[in-house]
Structures are given as C-alpha cells and as structure tokens.
Structure 1
C-alpha cells in the first residue's frame, strides 16, 4: 500500500499535509516507516513542540512519537546506501534499485534482507534453518523468520531447583517449575515439625534441626540439673548460668563474691549452692515506671524475681489519647493491661465516603465494612462489594434470553449482559400512533415515540383564526391577538392574548365599570360590580374648564369642577334676586342642567377684560392682526433678496437701524397710550357713547 501511494503520488506528508512528489527529497522513520518531506522533518525536529518531555532524549517523530537524537540532513534511499537517489520509472520512488541488505527485525535471524530497496519493514526471512525444541532433545527444520517456539512430546527430565528430583512436565518453554513435593522439617530443639516444599531454603542447621519454633528450648544444660531458658536456637546450649566458675558477683551484682568470701561467706562448689547475698538494696530496674522515672527493686539483695513494686504508673489507652494511674503491683505484664477511651475516630475510611467512628481507634488502614449499595451501570442492580473508591464494576448478571427490538427484526443472542440496550433497528416504527399521518422514524426501544412533525391546519386556542403549517404535535397555538371574549360579568371583554381554557376561572373581573354617573355622565371607573349598584364616590375624571371669553383654560377633577360651578351658579342666582324683588322672572334651568354642569366655567380675570377691550378697539378701528408688520402673531415681515444680501454684508449697520427704529416705536407707543387714556377718561366722565 505504501509503495502504491508513493508511485501514484497519493501519499501525504503529516507535517505539511501536502502530497509527497516522486522527485521530492524525503525521510523515512525507521520505527513506524512513515515518509516525510526532508525539509518538513528538519523544521519539525528544530521546533520546540517536537522535543521529548525530558528534554534530553532528542526530538519526537510526528507519527509514532519515537525519540531520535540526530536531525536528518541528507536525502538517502530507503536502505540508506545511496545519497540523493535518481528516480527510475521502472523502480520504486526514492529507492536505489539495489538489494536492501538491512538486518531483519528478528533477533535470531542472521540473514540480511534479500529484496530490492523498499519502504516499510523487511519481510520475514524465507530461509530454512534447524532449530531444537525447548527441552533440547529434538531438532526440526523451520523457516528462519518463524517466531513460534518448537515443542516435542517428550518429558523434560531436567533437574529441578531442589537438586534431588527431575522435571516431569512435557517439553516446555522457560525454566522448570519449582519442585512440588513436600518434606518434613524439624525445629532445632526437636519439639515441633512442619511440612514444606522440597527445595525450600533451609535455615542454618546444627545437624539436628532446620528452623526455630520460637519456643523455649528446654534442653538439659551441661550441669545436668537445669534446663535451657533460651528461645529455640541452632547453636549448642550455653553453660549453666549458676556454675561457680560463671557467677562472680552477688545476686544484685553490686558486690564481688571474692569480697564476700573474705567476710566469711561459704564458697560455692556446685550450681545448686545458694549465691551469697551482700545485704544491700537490690536496685534492679523493674518493668513498671516510665522513661523519665524508672522504678527499682526496694528489697535486699536476693535471688529469683523481684517483688512487685509499691509505686504507681501511668498507662495509656489503645489510641494514646488518655492515660490513667494504676498500682505497679497490677502491672505484671504492662502490655496486657490496656483500657479504651471514649474518643471516636473522625478519619475517613478507605472508601472516602464514611467516617470511622470507632471508639479508641488504633486502625491505620480504616477499611470500610459497609456495603457499597450504589447502582451499577445497568441501572437495575446495586453494588454488593464493600464500600470503595472510584467507579463500581460492571454488573455481573447475565440474561440467557434473546434481546430483540420492538418489532422483532433485530436480535441480540444470549448471553446478554445486564443493562444492554435493545439493538438498533432500521425498520419503520410499528407502534400505534395517535394521528393517522405517515410515520418516518425508525423502530426504537423508548416507550414514547418522537412527536409527529407533519404540517397541518389548526385553530388557535381562542378560535380567532385557522393557522397553517402547524406541526401535528403542537396543540396549544396562540395567534397573538387579544382574546376579546365576553366575561362572566357581561360588561367587559377579556384583554389577555389568545390563551388556553376559560378567561377567568377562579378570579373576578377587575376591569373599571363603564356605567355613566348620574350627574356628570362620566364612567363609574370602580372595579367591576355586576350585581351591585355603583358606589357613591366622587368622580376622579379630568375635565377641561375655560372662562366665558375662552382665554383661560385649566384641567380639573370632575368633582371639584362641579363644586366650583355650583358656587358660581349660586352667585348668579343671588344677583338675580334683585330682579325677583322688582317682579321680573328669572330662568334658572340654564344653571342646573347636566349640560351646563359639564360646561362649568372659570371666572374671567383682568387679563380677559383687557383682551375684550383690545378686541373691541380693534373692531372699532378696523385693525386686522395680519396687517401689522410688528405683530408677533403675524407671519412676519417680508424682505427682498437684495435687502437680505446687503444685511449680510454689513450686519452692524442693520443692527443700528433696527435699534433706532425700536426706540422710535417705543416712544410713539408711549405717547399713544397717554392720549388714549386721556380720551377714554374724558368719555367715561361724560357718560357718552363711543363715536368713530
């Protein structure tokens, strides 16, 4: 395949992802045999990304990550004999056309590769050689490249490691198994025996035993009167410790026997003679006490064991958290007297989930004894192993029934591991469906089918319009319009967007009441009350009021405007009382009708009177507002383009003229107002009528 891709130029370099041309210099990895452009592999070898993790092993191959120390520099053929090989159409690209001659990968093969220079690994050696079997008794002629071992049917017969027996296995590879025969060994003191495999390493033997039973020896010493008190040992027993030639001091060891002999003590002849006492305090250290305060024997120099101590010692609980003081007489064996404190261990157990909670704990591993109980990957069974860290093992239960898909076309034959999902089936789903539209999804193991996506026409939830291109599985469709259905109150319509179900099920309508009021015809605006009359509260609607002349305009709450109109009407009626006293009739219906109540007016002020006077004066003088070029309400003076151009050229001159004209107008207005005031005052004093 590699030769074909290189010849047809379909092989790509893993570094640049470009096709390796026939004439392009290449380099081939000797571990994975991938081919790269020579320039590409040089750049890769020098880049920091190609360096090995330890930094000293060289650079890594992009394909197999094999580390190399030398960077390739020259273009050679695959066998490495020819530099810059020339391509021949009859030969493999990038090869020299000569015999390969490389050593094969098989370590036992002495023959070199005998095919032409080629990419990839060398084929197995085709030569025939004579090889012996594993036991070395028979020989066979096989191919040199054959890696399998040769076995015969003969018994091995080699001497085993024990050096006493021979191997009984049939011709096999590797070393022979240890000897499986058992032999009986005796301890050094001769009191215990044990069976071990033949060839087991024996301990030092004195000719009478092979191991130590760790018991007291008990053999008779050379004196013939006492027994050995040492642990079972391979060497000969020691001399009797009570022989006269061995004992040189008194029992407490403070005084030499030679000094006691000078004082008149009897000389010892045999080992059973008593050892003289010096009469001093014994002073031997006892097993009780502590490292800081050592208890000693308080008796006089004596033979044998010391008497119990009269002091007290501190002993610790098992975990060493608490201590207590006890008499030393009870501490015959200090290690055997222990007590437990009430402290509970708070360390985590080996599972990492539970606490130890043991009282006076001395455990170091804290193994958890609880059952794991977590669900396994099948989702049906729970882990029955002791509580542990990490993930649980796969479920060990297996079914011996066939596992099929829903329609039965696809089958998984037993044994079926627990938790295995039904097989995938490419047949169309055969389950019963709610709609009669064609089914496009495949058979499945889920109980519920995917929703039907067939496009249909459906009414919205409020039955406002028939919507098209609606998937079949969608049921609640909103058109986005207002519901506008009549509520139970019979007065209002639902203002919600097209919705599902009834408009107001457990709630009451809270829209404002629209019944007109009795006096002002404004709506009630109280929360909807279909079964009760409107509440008698003041109207809060805004109304626009104006005076009779129409100059003053103001917005006011309806109830306040009504009170203002009633006050004005009362004043008007009071002014008409003089007419009633003179016998004239007064029409008051105009003052108390609803229409007039709606059109409540404001009182005219001095500004209104001045406006009326100016209007009458303008009508008398036949003055039009639009004819006054200085009137701000007019459309404004009209100037020619020439005048505007001159004004732009000399703006200061125009400003000066405008200032002078303003002063002239102000002076004229001041004189006109004085003349008008004098004329009006004279006319009013004469009581005459205005004349044009």
Structure 2
C-alpha cells in the first residue's frame, strides 16, 4: 500500500517469533480461483490451492511464483521473480522481505534461508539458491533432513521406513518415518499404579496411567475415625496403623496408666505424661524449685498422680485480659490447673481502632476476644474507583473490588467478566473463525473475525423477498427489515372518497382531507370526521345534536342523538333575533328569554286592549295566542324610538325631506346600544379609531389602489370589539390576528364599497350628553288600536323640528 500511495492498514506491531498470518479460505482443487486486486482499477484471477496442507502446496507455489501470479498479502502486489522475499515456516506464505520487515519490525526477519539475494536462473525455482534444502521435516521424531532442492512451501514427508514400538512397548512393526499417528496395540498396559499394589488394565495408551480407582477403608492415627477413599490416597502418611489425622483429641492411655493423651490425633507413639515426677521440677506457678520445697519438709512425689506441692506465693501468671501497656496477673495462690477469673476490667478496642469499650475480664476467655467489631462502615473507595468498601470495622490497607465489572464490551454482545476496574474495559477477546458474509453472500470477510464486527458492505441490489413487486432501489444490507418502498403509486384514501396519485408504496393510511360523510348507525346523522380509517364510531354511540324541531318553538332539539326515543324536554338555547316595533332596536337573545319577553309583551297588549274595552271598543286576542306570534318577540321602544317617530311625523307634516336633516337625526340608528354604551366609557379611544377609519376610507376612495389596510397595535378584547363594530358601520373589513396578549386588528377599506356615515359616533354621544329636557306640549289624541310607540308619542311634547338636538 505504501508503494501505491494508499494509507497503511491499521496493524498491531508484533515480533517475528509471534508473527501469525491470517490464512486464506481456499480449496485444494486446482480449478478453484481467488480474486484479488493487483493495482487500483485492475482485477486479476489467480489460480491457487490450499497453502497450508497437502502435497499440492509446493507445486502450486512454484507455479505461481514462476508465472508471477503470486501476491504479497501485505502490500497486495505481485511478487516478481527478482524481488527479495521471506517465507513463513508455519503457513508457508511468501511475502516481500521489505513488507514483512516493516510489519514484524524484528531483526530476526531480516534474513531467511541460507543465501541472501540468491542469483536466479531461468531453469531454477524463483528465489531458490539451487542447493539441497536440508531443513528438518515436520514429521514427529524424524531426524532425516529434506533431500530435495531449495523450494517454497512445506517439505515432503520422509520416504524412509523405520521399526517403531507401540506405546506400551509390547509390540513393534515397520512404518514410515515421521508418521504422526502413534502405534498402539490391543493388549492391556499392565503398569504398576500409584498405589503400588494394582496394575493398569487399560489398553495400550499414551501418557501416564490413571490413579487406582478402587475404594478402600482407612483408619486415622488414633484409630477412632474411618473413611472410604481411593486406593493409594495418603500412602506416604501411613505409620503402620493409620493413614490420616482426624483432628480430634488422641485419648490414648499414656505409659503412666493414669492419664490419657491430650494431643490432637498424631503419628507415632504418644509423649510421656506431663505430670511425671521426672518432668515436673517446679511448683505450679514455676516460681520455686521442688528441691527447695523438699528442704522445707514437703514429701517427694513418687508418681504422676501425686499432687504438685504449692509454694504458697501469689501465682502472678499473666492472664489473657489486659492491654498492651497493662498486664493483668493471676491473684490466686500458687495452684494447679488454669488460673481463675480476673476481677479487673479491660479496655477492648475494635479492629479499626475507632471505638473502645470497658469489659469485665471475667467475660474474656481468649486473647482474640480483646478485639471486637464495631458498626462503622468503611467509606473509602475500592480499587475500581466506583464502589465504596462498605465493610464493617474495616482494617484493609488495599480495598480491592471483588465485584464483576459487567459493562458491555466494544462488541456490544458480551459483558466484561473481569473484576471491577478503572478505565475502559479490554476489547472483546472472542473471535470467530467462520467467514462473515453480507446477506446475499457476494461480499466476504475471512477469519479470524473479531467479535462484534458488522457484515461487510455490499454494493449490489438487495435480493430479499419484498412484499410488493416494485423495482428495488436499495443495496444489500444486514438489517432485518428492508427500507420502505418509495415507488410512486395510485391509492384510494381511507374513506374511499378519491384516488390519490404519486403516493409512495409504503404509505398505507392516506387521508384526502374531505369530510367522511358516511351515514352513522343512527341513520340520521353523517360522520363529520375528516377522512379516517376504521369505523366512524369507534366507541359509544352517536353524539351529534338532534335536528328534530321542537313542538313549541320549531328550533332543533340539539340534545345528543337519541334514536328510538322522544326528544327530552329541555330549555331551548337557540339564538333568535328580536327587535322593537319600529325596528330600530335589534338584539340576539336565547329562545327561552325571547319567549318570556313575548309573554310579557302579550300581557301588556292585552291589558291595553282591556282598557279600551271599557270605553266600548271590542278586541281580538286570537293573534296574540297563535304559535306564529308566540315564536315572535318584541323589544320595547325606548325614548329614542319615540323621538325618531315624532321627528318622522313632524317631517311628514311639514313636508321636509329626511335625507336633508341637518342634524343627522336618523344616523343614530346605525349604532347599536352596546356600541354606544362602550363609547360612553372610553370616548377618547372611539374618537381616535373613528378618525383612523375615516382617513383610511377617504384614502381608499380617492387613490388608485382598490383597497387600503391599516394595522392597529395589540389591545384588549373590549377595544377590539369596538373596532369590529365601527368597521361594520363604515363597511370596512376587519380581521384579528395573532394570539393573546399580542392579538391585534387589521382593517381593510375597499374602493367604492366603504363609506363614512352621516354622523360619527363621537358627535352622537356628545349631543346626547349636552341634550336638554324638552318643554311640555299639548295632548295628542291616540287613535284606537295604536301601537306602543304611538302611546309614547301622545305623552311627548310637540317640539319644533329644527329645535331637536337628539
């Protein structure tokens, strides 16, 4: 690769004695081929055979080297006949000497064979010195050197015949030298086993004989315990009577025939009695020799059963209690046997030394009881740096972590089984020796293959079986599922409303955006959902409002769909438009409120009719009780309605054209009561808005453009409502944009459509504020059957038309 200018492959430097070349996966048949790339853009087919075993290896190497068809596995270039080479003695691959030296980086690879840079002749094998090979053959126990000319590849098997004996040495026969298989006869081995009592019964075999498998009974040294073991176990421990120690007190009678042995089960004879007169030389406390006590008149001991005379002094033997700086001594007089309990107390320290406590010495029986374990847990980090020690009363100097790491390795398949450690885990050591191929098998990775290696990338089209029959455009892949098919097709929408074009094949649920409009199970309503999949009513029943007319008002029922049952009696919430008799006041109210209003209106009308009946007039109350009249409702005319009607009648009487009213009296009817009420609360804001709308309308009507727009700044809901209502008066389009709190209003004036009213709302409110109460006028007789506004007119004074200010 360095010679071709390509980047070097990532390799780990190794020495020549550790050099291992990955073998090619080739067959022995001479017709097999292996494709490799000699140089960029050029492919060459090379005939080869198995380079590891078989007699054809040598001949194949000679043929390929002579024809200059053999490639170096390091640089992937042809090995020319004049190039210096190095041949591996394990796999017999041939490499460029410079390539293998750069790879192995070892002085041992600088020379190969007998001759360096041998001269080549056309009649000889390339890279051969022409002398006899002389290398040691690979056969077992073969001492004959190779006797053919210098050659590549493995040496042929030794042709010599020798006489070899079988493994057990009982049979011999002639066979080829260096034959790997060992000679084995069919007779029993007969060798002495490890127990030195029985012989091997296995057929002629290699290696050591197995241990004797017979079960025998063995007795301990003291003769109390027995065990069943394989023959030959603890053969060296036999002392003539026993084979092993049972760890119990011996208990054999001593020579004194008065005491028993107190030692643990042991080999050989028991020790003499420790109370023998020949062994005891001092008193029990060891402070006074017995010879001195004899001089004082004590009798001499004759046997081990005689008591040992006491000197009468304080024992003063050190006890197990106490501490390093304070030693407790026995306070009893010189005595035999163990010392009595201590009357003092000892300071006992825990193992880690963090806590102490006072304990009566009488409770301390052994030295190891002078140390106790406290409840303090060690908070030091373990060697892994992740876990805490957590041990009670810890005394460890090095806190090793004994937990298993368990982290996933770089392969993503196995977990680290090493003890918990610092840093990154070692790479997964598991490898596969099987070929790793892509799904179609055209791209191959040869072993060994590190664990976790992904299949090789393949540039051929995917050959898997797909659900559709459309052409495949994606390459071979290792994922379980293929990418979705993107071939453009025609498909019906989910509701079967229309057939859509240019739809990718993998898309299944396609919505046309239209209303479903399928008849629901209630057989009254149709589905209002946008084109969807599945049933229209996935859960429950139809909840659309019932459209059957109510018997009293005729409005739809509006209750949830109730197929098969009568409409429930509920209050009608439909909106109806109501107005006064003169038509000036107009409002939208709930149907139930309108009915109540009409009942009040009918009651007032009937009351006025009854008053007329007292004067001799007749009345017909039928129209007031019909369903048609019940559906209607009336608003009461107010003072402004009476004023307008009075002015109208005065104008008719005086033959004055109402359109030339200098005070624009009729312009007040274009503004609703709610708008005037809002204007009274914030007259300054209304004035600014009217001025802005007026300028926009004049600009639109005078300019060349067909429409003009203006955007008001963000404002609250009440101010936006005023702008919308004023825009309706001026025939200007108004739309709200954005969300709270930045919601604003944009108005648009259209040329020839938008116009200014005769009187502004501001001037109207100012006139109402400055209005004066009119003087009384003469009574006007009311005609029979007059309406409500006529009653109000007869109570109003007659004013000159030109004095009206409202």
Asked if the contact 2:72–2:79 (Cα under 8 Å) also holds between the matched residues in 1, the reply is yes
Shift in CA distance, 314/262, structure 1 to aligned 2, threshold 3 Å? same
Aligned to 1:21: 80
Deviations, residues 316-350 of structure 1 (Å, cap 9, x unaligned): 55776544221111223454798654334557899
Superposed CA offset, 1:133-189 (max 9, x none):
222222233322321222222211111122111001112111111112233322222
Number of aligned residue pairs: 430
Alignment check: 8 A CA contact 2:167 2:206 kept: yes
Q: Encode CA deviations 1:175-234: one digit per residue, 9 max, x unaligned.
A: 111112233322222222223322223455543323222222222222221222222222
Does the 8 Å CA contact 2:92/2:152 hold for their aligned counterparts? yes
Query: 1:216 maps to which residue?
Result: 249
**Residues 580-629 of structure 1, C-alpha deviations (whole Å, 9 max, x = no match):** xxxxxxxxxxxxxxxxxxxxxxxxxxxxxxxxxxxxxxxxxxxxxxxxxx
2:723 to 533, 555, 577: 533
Q: Please name the residue that 1:292 is paired with.
A: 325
Matches within 5 A, 1:249-288: 249-288=282-321
Q: What do you get for the CA RMSD once the two structures are aligned? A: 5.3
Contact 2:165 2:172 in 1 (8 A): yes
Partner secondary structure for residue 175 of structure 2: strand
Deviations 1:355-410 (A, max 9, x none): 776766899988779xx999xx999xx99x9x99989x9xxxxxxxxxxx9xxxxx
Shift of 1:284: 0.7
Separation of aligned partners in 1, 2:70 and 2:351? 74
d(CA) in 1 for partners of 2:470, 2:304: 117
Do 1:428 and 1:442's aligned partners in 2 also have CA atoms closer than 8 Å?
no
User: Could you say what secondary structure the match of 1:6 adopts?
Assistant: helix
Deviation at 1:252, TM superposition (A): 0.6
Distance in 1 separating the partners of 2:259 and 2:310: 21
Task: Name the counterpart of 1:431.
Answer: 467
For residues 507 and 259 of structure 2, what CA distance do their matches in structure 1 show? Answer: 106
- Corresponding residue for 1:493? none
Query: TM-score with structure 1 length normalisation?
Result: 0.51
Query: Alpha carbons of 1:340 and 1:21: their partners in 2 closer, same or farther (altered >3 Å)?
Result: closer
Q: Deviations over 1:452-471 (max 9, x none)?
A: 3336899xxxxxxxxx9997
Give the 3-state SS of the residue equivalent to 1:227 in structure 2.
coil
What's 2:158 paired with? Answer: 125
The one-character-per-residue Cα deviations of 1:478-504 (angstroms, maximum 9, x if unpaired) are xxxxxxxxxxxxxxxxxxxxxxx9xxx
Confirm or deny: 8 A CA contact 1:429 1:444 kept in the other structure. Answer: no
Q: Tell me what 2:346 maps to.
A: 313
Contact persistence 1:428–1:439 (CA under 8 A): no
- Give 1:452's match in structure 2, choosing from 473, 482, 485: 485
Alpha-carbon distance in structure 2 between the residues aligned to 1:36 and 1:427: 38
Q: How does 1:83-482 map to 2 (within 5 A)?
A: 86-97=119-130, 99-202=132-235, 204-316=237-349, 322-333=355-366, 335=368, 341-344=374-377, 429-431=465-467, 450-454=483-487
Q: Which residues in structure 2 correspond to 1:7-18 (within 5 Å)? A: 7-12=66-71
Q: Tell me: CA distance 1:148–1:188, structure 2 relative to 1, closer, same or farther (3 Å).
A: same
1:517 paired residue number: 693
Q: Structure 1 unaligned runs (5+)?
A: 53-58, 62-70, 394-404, 406-420, 459-467, 476-500, 502-512, 537-692
**Cα distance between partner residues in 1 of 2:691 and 2:245:** 118
Query: How far 1:240 sits from its partner (Å)?
Result: 2.1
**In structure 2, C-alpha distance between the alignment counterparts of 1:185 and 1:194, rounded to whole Å:** 5
Distance of 2:691 and 2:484 partners within structure 1: 50
Q: Summarize the alignment of residues 503-514 of structure 1 with structure 2, pairs less than 5 Å apart.
A: none
Q: TM-score, structure 2 length as denominator?
A: 0.44
Asked if structure 2 preserves the Cα contact closer than 8 Å seen for 1:430 and 1:443, the reply is no
1:28, distance to aligned residue in structure 2 (A)? 4.3
Specify which structure has the bigger relative contact order, considering alpha-carbon pairs within 8 angstroms and separated by 6 or more residues: 2
Alpha carbons 2:222, 2:252 under 8 Å: kept:
yes
Change beyond 3 A, Cα 1:437–1:188: closer
CA drift of 1:239 comes to: 2.2
Q: 1:4 aligns with which of 49, 58, 63?
A: 63
Distance change >3 Å, CA 99–CA 203, structure 1 → 2? closer
Equivalent residues in 2 for 1:624-643, closer than 5 Å: none
Q: Which shifted more, 177-186 or 339-348? A: 339-348
- Structure 1: distance between partners of 2:275 and 2:190: 58
